[in-house]
Structure 1
Protein backbone atom coordinates (compact mmCIF):
# COMPACT_ATOMS: atom_id res chain seq x y z
CA UNK A 1 0.00 0.00 0.00
CA UNK A 2 2.83 2.42 0.87
CA UNK A 3 4.25 2.19 -2.65
CA UNK A 4 0.93 3.10 -4.25
CA UNK A 5 0.02 5.87 -1.81
CA UNK A 6 1.14 9.43 -2.59
CA UNK A 7 3.18 11.45 -0.10
CA UNK A 8 0.65 13.09 2.19
CA UNK A 9 2.48 16.19 3.51
CA UNK A 10 -0.06 18.95 4.10
CA UNK A 11 -3.02 16.63 3.51
CA UNK A 12 -5.79 15.83 6.01
CA UNK A 13 -6.12 12.07 6.46
CA UNK A 14 -9.33 11.00 8.21
CA UNK A 15 -9.29 7.53 9.76
CA UNK A 16 -12.55 5.87 10.72
CA UNK A 17 -14.22 2.49 10.88
CA UNK A 18 -17.51 1.59 9.20
CA UNK A 19 -19.67 -1.49 9.12
CA UNK A 20 -20.93 -2.31 5.63
CA UNK A 21 -24.65 -2.93 6.00
CA UNK A 22 -26.72 -5.25 3.87
CA UNK A 23 -23.94 -7.62 2.83
CA UNK A 24 -24.11 -10.51 5.29
CA UNK A 25 -26.26 -13.52 4.58
CA UNK A 26 -28.05 -15.23 7.44
CA UNK A 27 -25.60 -16.37 10.06
CA UNK A 28 -22.71 -14.34 8.64
CA UNK A 29 -21.10 -11.33 10.27
CA UNK A 30 -21.21 -7.91 8.65
CA UNK A 31 -18.04 -6.63 6.98
CA UNK A 32 -16.23 -3.98 9.04
CA UNK A 33 -13.54 -1.79 7.45
CA UNK A 34 -11.15 0.79 8.87
CA UNK A 35 -10.33 3.34 6.18
CA UNK A 36 -7.92 6.22 5.70
CA UNK A 37 -9.48 8.93 3.55
CA UNK A 38 -7.41 11.70 1.96
CA UNK A 39 -9.77 14.67 2.25
CA UNK A 40 -7.94 16.93 -0.20
CA UNK A 41 -7.35 14.08 -2.62
CA UNK A 42 -10.96 12.87 -2.47
CA UNK A 43 -9.97 9.23 -2.26
CA UNK A 44 -9.60 6.32 0.13
CA UNK A 45 -5.87 5.81 0.71
CA UNK A 46 -6.13 2.42 2.36
CA UNK A 47 -8.46 0.03 4.15
CA UNK A 48 -8.04 -2.78 6.64
CA UNK A 49 -10.75 -5.37 7.20
CA UNK A 50 -11.55 -6.30 10.80
CA UNK A 51 -13.67 -9.09 12.21
CA UNK A 52 -15.82 -6.62 14.12
CA UNK A 53 -15.90 -3.02 15.34
CA UNK A 54 -14.05 -3.87 18.56
CA UNK A 55 -11.02 -4.92 16.49
CA UNK A 56 -10.47 -1.38 15.16
CA UNK A 57 -7.75 -0.94 17.78
CA UNK A 58 -5.61 -3.58 16.08
CA UNK A 59 -6.40 -2.47 12.52
CA UNK A 60 -5.56 1.23 12.99
CA UNK A 61 -1.83 0.73 13.73
CA UNK A 62 -1.51 -1.49 10.64
CA UNK A 63 -3.18 1.18 8.53
CA UNK A 64 -0.99 3.97 9.96
CA UNK A 65 2.16 1.95 9.29
CA UNK A 66 1.12 1.38 5.67
CA UNK A 67 0.82 5.08 4.79
CA UNK A 68 3.46 7.77 4.16
CA UNK A 69 2.12 10.20 6.75
CA UNK A 70 5.08 12.58 7.14
CA UNK A 71 3.70 16.12 7.30
CA UNK A 72 0.05 15.00 7.14
CA UNK A 73 -2.69 15.93 9.60
CA UNK A 74 -4.38 12.75 10.85
CA UNK A 75 -7.89 13.01 12.28
CA UNK A 76 -9.56 10.25 14.23
CA UNK A 77 -12.30 9.69 16.79
CA UNK A 78 -11.53 8.90 20.44
CA UNK A 79 -10.08 5.51 19.42
CA UNK A 80 -6.97 7.42 18.31
CA UNK A 81 -6.21 8.41 21.91
CA UNK A 82 -5.14 4.86 22.78
CA UNK A 83 -1.57 4.68 24.09
CA UNK A 84 -0.33 2.59 21.18
CA UNK A 85 -2.09 4.57 18.44
CA UNK A 86 -1.43 8.30 19.10
CA UNK A 87 2.38 7.92 19.44
CA UNK A 88 2.52 6.14 16.07
CA UNK A 89 1.17 9.24 14.37
CA UNK A 90 3.94 11.43 15.81
CA UNK A 91 6.57 8.78 15.07
CA UNK A 92 5.49 8.89 11.41
CA UNK A 93 6.21 12.64 11.36
CA UNK A 94 2.52 13.56 11.16
CA UNK A 95 0.30 15.84 13.24
CA UNK A 96 -2.94 14.70 14.84
CA UNK A 97 -6.38 15.99 15.74
CA UNK A 98 -7.97 13.52 18.14
CA UNK A 99 -11.25 13.51 20.04
CA UNK A 100 -11.06 13.04 23.80
CA UNK A 101 -14.17 11.76 25.56
CA UNK A 102 -15.17 11.57 29.20
CA UNK A 103 -14.58 7.81 29.23
CA UNK A 104 -10.86 8.66 29.45
CA UNK A 105 -10.98 10.73 32.66
CA UNK A 106 -7.22 10.83 33.33
CA UNK A 107 -6.37 12.07 29.83
CA UNK A 108 -9.25 14.55 29.90
CA UNK A 109 -8.14 15.92 33.29
CA UNK A 110 -4.55 16.32 32.06
CA UNK A 111 -5.70 18.17 28.95
CA UNK A 112 -7.95 20.46 30.96
CA UNK A 113 -5.04 21.22 33.30
CA UNK A 114 -2.72 21.91 30.35
CA UNK A 115 -5.24 24.23 28.67
CA UNK A 116 -5.82 26.06 31.96
CA UNK A 117 -2.06 26.52 32.37
CA UNK A 118 -1.68 27.72 28.77
CA UNK A 119 -4.45 30.25 29.32
CA UNK A 120 -2.41 31.78 32.15
CA UNK A 121 0.75 32.20 30.04
CA UNK A 122 1.61 35.65 28.73
CA UNK A 123 0.12 36.29 25.30
CA UNK A 124 3.57 36.21 23.72
CA UNK A 125 3.83 32.45 24.43
CA UNK A 126 0.30 31.32 23.72
CA UNK A 127 -2.57 32.65 21.65
CA UNK A 128 -6.00 31.06 21.43
CA UNK A 129 -6.65 31.42 17.71
CA UNK A 130 -10.08 29.84 17.57
CA UNK A 131 -12.73 28.42 19.88
CA UNK A 132 -16.02 26.72 19.06
CA UNK A 133 -18.64 24.94 21.17
CA UNK A 134 -21.55 22.96 19.78
CA UNK A 135 -24.38 21.19 21.64
CA UNK A 136 -26.28 18.52 19.76
CA UNK A 137 -29.29 16.43 20.79
CA UNK A 138 -29.87 13.10 19.09
CA UNK A 139 -29.84 9.34 19.46
CA UNK A 140 -31.17 9.67 23.02
CA UNK A 141 -28.31 11.80 24.33
CA UNK A 142 -26.94 15.32 24.48
CA UNK A 143 -23.41 15.80 23.16
CA UNK A 144 -21.27 18.86 23.78
CA UNK A 145 -18.28 19.33 21.50
CA UNK A 146 -15.60 21.93 22.18
CA UNK A 147 -12.70 22.74 19.92
CA UNK A 148 -9.89 25.11 20.85
CA UNK A 149 -6.93 25.88 18.62
CA UNK A 150 -3.78 27.28 20.19
CA UNK A 151 -0.71 28.82 18.68
CA UNK A 152 2.37 28.28 20.84
Structure 2
Protein backbone atom coordinates (compact mmCIF):
# COMPACT_ATOMS: atom_id res chain seq x y z
CA UNK A 1 0.00 0.00 0.00
CA UNK A 2 1.08 3.55 -0.68
CA UNK A 3 -0.12 6.17 1.81
CA UNK A 4 -0.17 9.94 1.66
CA UNK A 5 0.51 10.13 5.37
CA UNK A 6 -0.01 13.88 5.65
CA UNK A 7 -3.52 13.50 4.23
CA UNK A 8 -4.29 10.08 5.75
CA UNK A 9 -5.18 8.64 2.34
CA UNK A 10 -4.29 5.35 0.62
CA UNK A 11 -2.91 6.34 -2.80
CA UNK A 12 -2.56 2.85 -4.23
CA UNK A 13 -2.46 -0.80 -3.34
CA UNK A 14 -1.25 -3.98 -5.04
CA UNK A 15 -1.68 -7.58 -4.01
CA UNK A 16 1.52 -9.61 -4.09
CA UNK A 17 1.62 -12.92 -5.94
CA UNK A 18 1.26 -16.06 -3.84
CA UNK A 19 4.95 -16.97 -4.16
CA UNK A 20 6.29 -13.43 -3.96
CA UNK A 21 6.72 -10.59 -1.49
CA UNK A 22 6.53 -6.81 -1.39
CA UNK A 23 9.99 -6.36 -2.94
CA UNK A 24 8.56 -7.31 -6.33
CA UNK A 25 5.33 -5.36 -5.84
CA UNK A 26 6.90 -2.05 -4.77
CA UNK A 27 8.34 -1.15 -8.21
CA UNK A 28 4.97 -1.90 -9.83
CA UNK A 29 3.18 0.29 -7.31
CA UNK A 30 5.71 3.10 -7.82
CA UNK A 31 4.95 3.00 -11.55
CA UNK A 32 1.31 3.82 -10.79
CA UNK A 33 2.07 6.91 -8.70
CA UNK A 34 3.04 10.50 -9.52
CA UNK A 35 6.01 10.98 -7.21
CA UNK A 36 7.84 13.98 -8.62
CA UNK A 37 9.06 16.24 -5.83
CA UNK A 38 7.86 13.94 -3.02
CA UNK A 39 9.58 11.84 -0.38
CA UNK A 40 9.02 8.08 -0.47
CA UNK A 41 9.62 6.27 2.81
CA UNK A 42 9.97 2.50 3.06
CA UNK A 43 10.70 0.01 5.80
CA UNK A 44 13.79 -2.19 5.77
CA UNK A 45 12.34 -4.76 3.37
CA UNK A 46 11.97 -2.06 0.71
CA UNK A 47 15.59 -0.95 1.13
CA UNK A 48 16.78 -2.13 -2.28
CA UNK A 49 19.05 -0.43 -4.81
CA UNK A 50 16.63 -1.05 -7.69
CA UNK A 51 13.78 0.54 -5.74
CA UNK A 52 15.95 3.56 -4.89
CA UNK A 53 16.87 3.94 -8.56
CA UNK A 54 13.21 3.79 -9.64
CA UNK A 55 12.25 6.48 -7.11
CA UNK A 56 15.05 8.75 -8.36
CA UNK A 57 13.98 8.14 -11.97
CA UNK A 58 10.50 9.38 -10.97
CA UNK A 59 12.17 12.60 -9.70
CA UNK A 60 11.40 11.88 -6.06
CA UNK A 61 13.55 11.32 -2.97
CA UNK A 62 13.72 8.31 -0.67
CA UNK A 63 14.13 7.59 3.01
CA UNK A 64 14.77 3.92 3.82
CA UNK A 65 15.11 2.06 7.09
CA UNK A 66 18.25 -0.07 7.07
CA UNK A 67 18.60 -3.26 9.05
CA UNK A 68 20.45 -6.52 8.66
CA UNK A 69 18.78 -7.28 5.31
CA UNK A 70 21.33 -4.93 3.76
CA UNK A 71 24.35 -6.34 5.57
CA UNK A 72 27.15 -4.34 3.95
CA UNK A 73 25.17 -1.07 3.92
CA UNK A 74 24.11 -1.58 7.55
CA UNK A 75 27.70 -2.26 8.58
CA UNK A 76 29.03 0.74 6.63
CA UNK A 77 26.51 3.04 8.32
CA UNK A 78 27.36 1.68 11.77
CA UNK A 79 31.07 2.18 11.09
CA UNK A 80 30.47 5.70 9.78
CA UNK A 81 28.74 6.73 12.99
CA UNK A 82 31.30 4.96 15.14
CA UNK A 83 34.26 6.69 13.51
CA UNK A 84 32.71 10.05 12.63
CA UNK A 85 30.12 10.83 15.29
CA UNK A 86 32.29 13.46 16.93
CA UNK A 87 33.20 15.03 13.61
CA UNK A 88 31.99 18.50 12.66
CA UNK A 89 30.05 16.96 9.76
CA UNK A 90 27.67 15.27 12.20
CA UNK A 91 24.37 16.94 13.01
CA UNK A 92 22.21 15.86 15.94
CA UNK A 93 18.79 16.53 17.34
CA UNK A 94 17.43 15.16 20.60
CA UNK A 95 13.97 15.21 22.04
CA UNK A 96 12.70 14.46 25.57
CA UNK A 97 9.02 14.14 26.37
CA UNK A 98 7.20 13.22 29.56
CA UNK A 99 3.52 12.34 29.51
CA UNK A 100 1.11 9.65 30.71
CA UNK A 101 3.64 8.35 33.20
CA UNK A 102 6.30 7.73 30.54
CA UNK A 103 9.51 9.42 29.65
CA UNK A 104 10.54 9.17 26.02
CA UNK A 105 13.95 10.15 24.72
CA UNK A 106 14.77 10.29 21.01
CA UNK A 107 18.06 11.22 19.44
CA UNK A 108 18.71 11.57 15.72
CA UNK A 109 22.17 11.85 14.19
CA UNK A 110 22.91 12.52 10.51
CA UNK A 111 26.04 12.53 8.39
CA UNK A 112 26.73 13.25 4.72
CA UNK A 113 26.97 9.95 2.82
CA UNK A 114 29.69 10.91 0.31
CA UNK A 115 32.78 10.47 2.54
CA UNK A 116 31.79 6.85 3.22
CA UNK A 117 31.61 5.74 -0.44
CA UNK A 118 27.96 4.70 -0.18
CA UNK A 119 26.84 6.73 -3.17
CA UNK A 120 28.41 4.39 -5.73
CA UNK A 121 25.70 1.77 -5.24
CA UNK A 122 22.80 3.87 -3.93
CA UNK A 123 21.31 6.40 -6.38
CA UNK A 124 21.55 10.01 -5.18
CA UNK A 125 22.23 9.01 -1.58
CA UNK A 126 23.22 12.21 0.20
CA UNK A 127 22.63 11.63 3.92
CA UNK A 128 22.73 8.76 6.39
CA UNK A 129 21.15 8.85 9.80
CA UNK A 130 20.48 6.89 12.93
CA UNK A 131 17.73 7.09 15.47
CA UNK A 132 18.02 6.16 19.14
CA UNK A 133 14.84 5.74 21.11
CA UNK A 134 14.28 5.01 24.80
CA UNK A 135 11.01 4.73 26.65
CA UNK A 136 10.88 4.52 30.44
Larger Rg belongs to: 1
Cα 1:113–1:87 shift into 2, 3 Å: farther
* Aligned-pair Cα RMSD in Å: 2.8
Unpaired stretches in structure 2, ≥5 consecutive residues = 97-105, 113-136
Please name the residue that 1:93 is paired with: 59
* Partner deviation per Cα, 1:66-94 (whole Å, 9 max, x = no partner): 21112222121112212211222233232
TM-score for both structures, normalised by structure 1:
0.55
TM-score for both structures, normalised by structure 2:
0.61
Bigger share in helix: 2
Q: Which residue of the other structure, out of 67, 82, 93, is the alignment partner of 1:129?
A: 93
Q: What's the offset of the Cα at 1:131? A: 7.4
State whether residues 129 and 151 of structure 1, in contact with CA within 8 Å, keep that contact through their aligned partners in structure 2.
Answer: no
Please name the residue that 1:61 is paired with: 27
- Equivalent pairs, count: 103
Distance of 1:128 and 1:90 partners within structure 2: 26
- Runs (4 or more) in structure 1 with deviation over 6 Å come to none
Unpaired stretches in structure 1, ≥5 consecutive residues = 1-34, 133-145
Cα 1:97–1:116 shift into 2, 3 Å: same
